[in-house]
Amino acid sequence: MVASFGFDLESKCRHSWARVGELHTPHGKVPTPVFAPVGTQATVKTTSPQELEELGVSLVVANTYHLNLRPGPEVIARLGGLHSFMGWQRPILTDSGGFQVFSMEHLRKIDGDGVTFRSHVDGSEHRLTPERSIAVQEQLGADIIVALDVCPPYRSDYEHNRVVLQRTHLWAERCLKAHTRTDQMLFGVVQGGTYPDLRGESARYLTSLDLPGYAIGGLSVGEPKETMHHMLDVTIPLLPEDKPRHLLGVGSPEDLFEGVARGIDIFDCALPTRIARNGTFFTSEGRLNIRNSRYKDDPAPVEEGCSCYACQQFSRAYLRHLVMAKEILGLRLATLHNLHFILNLMREIRTAILEDRFPTLKEQFLSSYKVVDDEVRMRDRKIWLNKLRASKEVAGD
């Protein structure tokens, strides 16, 4: 396959850092700003590739750690690579396994050379170094791959952040040196915790490596949203304007608006599909928990005017019945609705930037959208991580 990469900046908002572009890959174009659903195990849970195409998905994210464990990159490579393996011929991004370094503290040990994991599947030991992460991602054959990094926990002290930041930078150099495929874009990951000077140092250092793109990691890990915004304000002006910028692991509607306003091009997150499996639906007014008894005999759709299949065909009462009865269809319909909502929102944002009315759209949306407050959000995240660890699983979707 002939390499075909590039990032074209098409338009910028006059009143913010918001911008519209187009990312070119060997498997097609990705209009930005874009939201990429997470398909940890080479599948976006409960959905088919055909449904993703019908929803207008242009980029999906798969997980290097999980696919390295099962079925193994050698198996996927023999079967034609990840695109062929999962029946998805549009662009794919694979992460590095770096988030599992953060989320699997109970199953891993970090040293200067890499990370040793104990498998959550069978307890076997595995070694992940920058070179191994790149080798796995090259075997998988994604269009965009990510350098292995270390994500420090929120509230970790300055000295710890400084030490792991140096490790992240050294690992980025090793990843760049190990990368051999010319049909993949390698993104470096900006870290630095919640310390502005470290964030700035990381952005400047990674920019000096002249990578094809830059991801921003270590945010939305428990810090207040205002802190995340401040870290983006510090970081983004230091990144090249002509390279794509990816905010890792962020996908709530309010965060999409705030990220776009600061110049982010790519978002990915398991949130829309994860909350769907708990019976929670996105609406223009906030999240709707279909388990609430008030919806037991509600004939209305989840959201009036929504063109998704779930809203066009079914009532809140029926959807609640499916979720309460633990029917798989309920999870599928909630997932399809949430993905439709987020993807449609991103299309509206893109159009608004092109028409120079993004600030108005942002103000209108956020004025009626009820955001989950930080205390509840951090509590729910802690519960989620604890459940994953108790079940011997790892953070993913």
Question: Which three-class secondary structure string do you get for 270-308?
Answer: CHHHHHHCCCEEEECCEEEECCCHHHCCCCCCCCCCCCC
**268 part of the active site:** yes
The residue type of 211 is L
- Please tell me whether residue 24 adopts helix, strand or coil conformation: strand
Task: Report the alpha-carbon angle 57-184-263, nearest 5.
Answer: 55
What is the pLDDT at residue 115? 95
Per the CB < 8 A criterion, the answer to whether 42 and 60 are in contact is no
Per annotation, catalytic residue among 143, 149, 255, 268: 268
In the chain (397 residues long), the average pLDDT of successive 10-residue segments reads 77 96 97 98 98 98 96 98 98 93 86 93 92 98 98 96 98 98 97 98 98 97 96 98 98 98 98 97 98 98 98 98 98 98 98 97 98 73 62 56
What is the pLDDT at residue 99? 86
Give Cα 256 distance to the centre of its chain. 11
Burial class (CB in 10 A: 0-12, 13-18, 19+), 313: exposed
DSSP assignment letter at 251: -
What is the pLDDT at residue 154? 95
Q: Using the structure block, give the residue that is written with the tokens 């709707």.
A: 288
Nearest to 314 by CA among 210, 327, 87: 327
Burial class (CB in 10 A: 0-12, 13-18, 19+), 370: exposed
Give how far Cα 164 sits from Cα of 79, 102, 118, Å. 37, 12, 21
For the record, the structure tokens of 331 come out as 């999870």
**297 part of the active site:** no
For the record, the structure tokens of 315 come out as 């009532």
Per annotation, catalytic residue among 8, 95, 122, 149: 95
Nearest to 139 by CA among 42, 65, 73, 91: 73
Domains defined along the chain, listed by start: 9-269 (3.20.20.105), 278-373 (no CATH)
Q: Measure the CA–CA gap between 51 and 61, rounded to whole angstroms.
A: 16
What is the pLDDT at residue 1? 38
What is the pLDDT at residue 381? 62
17 Cβ partners below 8 Å, 6+ apart?
236, 261, 262, 263
